[in-house]
């Protein structure tokens, strides 16, 4: 699903939720747009892209920060592809914002 989005394909056929209250990548992107959740530009990748692509067993560890109202939350993810890791980290951060706001 994330690779499709990165390739510019439509996500309209993908489900919005994995289970009740747990958004998929498509659901997280749509909910972030609806609620105005901002992706922060300070994404942290644990290893340099140049060094990682030279290693055939690479795994990128990524932390992505999102902001909603006055609160910032970080999401983290791992994947052999840096761009997929970044999008998964974004999805996880959006899930955390939505989950914790729901508990208030």
Segment 6-47, tens digit of pLDDT: 878 887 778 888 777 788 888 888 888 888 888 876 677 766
64-93 pLDDT, tens digit per residue, is 888 888 888 888 898 888 888 888 999 999
Q: Which domain holds residue 51?
A: 2-103
Q: How far is CA 51 from CA 55, 79, 104, in A?
A: 7, 15, 43
What is the value of pTM for the model shown?
A: 0.77
Please, what is the angle between helix 25-35 and helix 82-103, to 10°? 60
Domain count, the chain: 1
Instruction: List the CATH number of the domain containing 51.
Output: 3.30.160
Contacts of residue 85, defined as CB under 8 A and 6 or more positions apart, other chains included, come to: 45, 60, 61, 62, 77, 78, 79
């Amino acid at each position: 699903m994330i690779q499709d989005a990165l390739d510019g394909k439509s996500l309209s056929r993908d489900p919005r939720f994995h289970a009740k209250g747990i958004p998929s990548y498509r659901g997280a992107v749509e909910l972030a747009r609806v609620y105005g959740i901002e992706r922060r530009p300070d994404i942290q990748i644990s290893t340099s892209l140049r060094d990682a692509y030279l290693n055939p067993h690479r795994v990128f560890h990524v932390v992505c920060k999102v902001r909603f109202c006055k609160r910032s939350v970080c999401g983290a993810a791992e994947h052999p592809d840096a761009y997929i890791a970044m999008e998964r980290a974004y999805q996880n951060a959006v899930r955390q914002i939505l989950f914790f706001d729901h508990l208030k």
